[in-house]
């Protein structure tokens, strides 16, 4: 089963290596440009600076628990089978609540 393979794979990068990879490859400027264009403000900060956006995304990656996700401020950090991902979401919809069905 794929989950067993991922959980026991010694080749899986460390959390720190994954975070460094995301830090170096995620398009932080695009997020800042979208937030500026949409006038997307965080609490009393207004539109956050590029450095604040980067720091916040990285912080979410450090805080997300295994096999879960954490979303706030437009970001969604996930840890699935020890592999991290980060998204910036402008719009999203899910019908699981509508169908009252969970997987």
Q: Are 54 and 29 in contact (CB under 8 A)?
A: no
Q: Report pLDDT for 39.
A: 96
Task: Write down the pLDDT at residue 94.
Answer: 78
Contact (CB, 8 A) for 22 and 86: yes
For position 19, what pLDDT does the model report?
98
Considering the entire predicted model, what is its pTM? 0.81
Gap between the Cα atoms of 72 and 94, Å rounded: 17
pLDDT-flagged residues of the chain (< 70): 1-10, 97-103
- Let me know the angle formed at the C-alpha of 19 by 16 and 23, rounded to the nearest 5 degrees: 135
DSSP 64: P
First to last CA, the chain: 18
What is the Cα–Cα distance from 69 to 47, expressed in whole angstroms?
A: 24
Provide the pLDDT for residue 1: 43
């Amino acid at each position: 089963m794929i989950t067993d393979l991922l959980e026991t794979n010694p080749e899986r990068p460390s959390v720190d290596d994954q975070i460094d990879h995301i830090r170096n490859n995620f398009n932080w400027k695009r997020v800042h440009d979208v937030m500026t264009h949409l006038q997307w403000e965080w609490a009393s900060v207004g539109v956050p600076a590029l450095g604040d956006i980067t720091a916040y995304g990285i912080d979410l990656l450090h805080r997300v628990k295994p096999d879960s996700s954490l979303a706030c401020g437009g970001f969604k950090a996930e840890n699935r089978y020890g592999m991290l991902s980060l998204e910036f979401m402008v719009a999203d919809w899910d019908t699981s609540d509508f169908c009252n069905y969970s997987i």
